[in-house]
Amino acid sequence: MPNKKLISIILGVMCFALTLGIVVQVRTIQNTNSTISQNQEANALRDEILKYKERYDNRFAQLEEAEKELEKEREEATKNNTELEQAQQQITEGNKLTGMTEVTGPGVIITLSDGTGIATSTLNPSQLIVHDLDVLSVVNELINAGAEAISINEQRWVFTTAISCRGNTIDINGERIGAPFVIKAIGLPEYLAGLERVGGYLELMRGQGVGVNLEKSNNITIPKYSGVINFEYLQNVER
Amino acid sequence: MKKGKIAMTITIGIACFALVTVMMMQFKVVNETDITAIEEMQETELKTELASWKTRYEEIDEQYQEVTQRIEEYKNDEVSNNEASQLVQEELEQTNTLLGLTDVYGEGIIITLKSGKDITPITADDLLIMVNALKFAGAEAISINDERIVNTTDIVYITSGSFIKVNGQRILEPYVIKVIGNQSHMESAVTGTGGKVDELLTLGHVATIEKDNDITIGKYNGEIETKYIQ
């Protein structure tokens, strides 16, 4: 008899948990529905955006493959000529530095997250938030500490990269990203970790209540630049 | 009787397991879908977003065509050493242009800055923000006092000497920022409300902007070497 009771209780608890889960889900879906405007045209635009995003992702993957093949062909074509071989090595090395290829190496990972502390009258709530200038300053300090490659939320830092505020999010390489910001840098980990120094920018941010975490790692992967650099106004001076 | 009980328990167990799995999957899907951002957007914003993804797709597509074409050229030219050499040289020049290792010219603007008297001088952060704004507006090449801005350029203030270093080189006032890019885009990036040039002027500094159709920006003079990236 007590066995039956036990089973009933277990079943009861399970049913309750399942119902709870279903209720949560239904409510979530209701919430999302409320933000989707009833506007047909807006929904069509959303579909279109997703379609282009997907096409972009597919092409990007193909491009990565093609670039690897190109490198092989280039190696093949230059292997019997010392002068060309040197040029080919310069291209390969250059592509790593300019952000045209994915790179790996030792370095640090810095995570900046919006503060969770309750804004009091003495604390400016705006100070708790990670701003575009904060990210820019951290990148500048990392370069100063000898970083050879940097990414912010998987967006590669290239020479045309700007960090710009766009409402609650930040615009990097034309892509919108939000906190937490994960900044990866490849370089000598000991030097890069020097950003933790007393009086440094990270300490300053911590003091303001922003979440700051720095972690050394021996194996960091930084992706290739997600865009294309085309010159419209600039030309090389012929020598 | 006992057998039936076991069978029932197992059935219920499996049913529960299946339900939980489905729930987990759904939660994961909800978490992973990155469409929340575009769901909150309004129609005008959606249109700009769509236009930007279209351009990004077209650019990446063009690049892909270019790379595949180059692969073909290499494949065809395997016999001719001369042509292979030309191809490699072409690629090397492109790489060097991206690295900032070539002298370049084009239209753009020249911004000259000088600190006002008896006020806090122009800071390294001012220059950093200015460069950032110019990049955001599409600058193709920038230099400060002939120090070329490359992707490993840092702009820092050296407290002990009270001066600014760009690329590890000390620079002194007046700061001359040369930019190649669309002239009106470059100008509006630093002027107007929130523009760095206007802000510096308001603070009492001296700042001038000059348009020039033929600006030459010298190559990066530092050493480019990599020790840690693979």
Q: Chain A residues with CB inside 8 Å of B226's CB?
A: 93, 96-97, 148
Q: Which of B59, B150, B53, B142 is nearest to B96 (CA)?
A: B150
Q: What percent of chain B has pLDDT over 90?
A: 49
Contact criterion met (CB < 8 Å) for B88 and A88: yes
**pTM for this structure?**
0.78
Rg value, chain B, Cα: 28
pLDDT band at residue A123 using 50, 70 and 90 as cut-offs: low
> Residue B53 and residue A14: Cβ atoms within 8 Å?
no
- Identify which of B38, B59, B77 has the shortest CB distance to residue A228: B59
Chain A: residue whose CA lies nearest to B57: A56
Closest by Cβ to A50, choosing from B35, B64, B155: B35
What does the alpha-carbon distance between residue B108 and residue B209 come to, in Å, rounded to a whole number? 10
Min mean pLDDT across A18-27, A69-78, A133-142, B206-215 is at: A18-27
Residue with tokens 């506007």: A39
What is the C-alpha to C-alpha distance for residues B99 and B127, in angstroms, rounded to an integer? 21
Please say whether the dihedral angle defined by the alpha carbons of residues B143, B147, B148 and B149, taken in this order, is positive or negative. negative
CB contact under 8 A, B57 and A52: yes
Complex-level ipTM = 0.77
A-chain residue closest to B38, CA distance: A46
Distance to chain A for B129, nearest Cα, Å? 8
Q: What is B104-217's CATH topology?
A: Alpha-Beta Plaits (3.30.70)
Lowest mean pLDDT among A21-25, A229-233, B157-161: A21-25
State the best of A96, A97, A233 to mutate against chain B, taking most chain B CBs within 10 Å.
A233
Q: Average pLDDT of chain B?
A: 87
> Where residue B35 falls among pLDDT bands split at 50, 70, 90?
low
Average pLDDT (A197-226) is 90
Q: Is the pLDDT of residue B62 over 60?
A: yes
Task: Identify the pLDDT of residue A120.
Answer: 54
Question: Nearest CA to CA, how far is A120 from chain B (Å)?
Answer: 28
- pLDDT of res. B146: 93
User: Could you report the per-residue pLDDT of B49-61, keeping only the tens digit for each?
Assistant: 888 889 889 989 9
The partner residue sitting opposite B60, judged by closest CB among A35, A63, A74, is A63
Distance from the B110 Cα atom to the nearest Cα atom in chain A, whole angstroms: 15
Mean pLDDT of chain A: 85
Contacts of B11 in chain A (CB under 8 A): none
Distance CA B195, CA B209 (A): 13
Q: What is the pLDDT of residue B124?
A: 92
Give the distance from residue B208's alpha carbon to the nearest chain A alpha carbon, in angstroms: 22
DSSP state string for A95-152: HHHHTSS-EEEEEEEEEEE---SPP-TTS-GGGGSPPHHHHHHHHHHHHHTT-SEEEE
CA-CA distance, A213 to A108, in Å (whole number)? 10
Report percent pLDDT > 70 for chain A: 90
List B206's β-bridge partners, or say none: B114
For the cut 80, the answer to whether the pLDDT of residue A31 exceeds it is no
Cβ–Cβ below 8 Å for A74 and B54: no
Q: Identify the pLDDT of residue B36.
A: 58
Is residue A58 less than 8 Å (CB to CB) from chain B? no
- Supply the pLDDT for residue A239: 61
Quote the pLDDT of residue A21. Answer: 80
Say what percent of chain B tops pLDDT 70.
91
pLDDT for residue A43: 84
Model pLDDT, residue A208 = 84
Higher pLDDT, A8 or B37: A8
Q: Which two tokens stand for residue B199?
A: 């802000």
Nearest CA-CA distance, residue A105 and chain B, Å: 5
User: Computed over its alpha carbons, how large is the radius of gyration of chain A?
Assistant: 25
Fold designation for A102-222: Alpha-Beta Plaits (3.30.70)
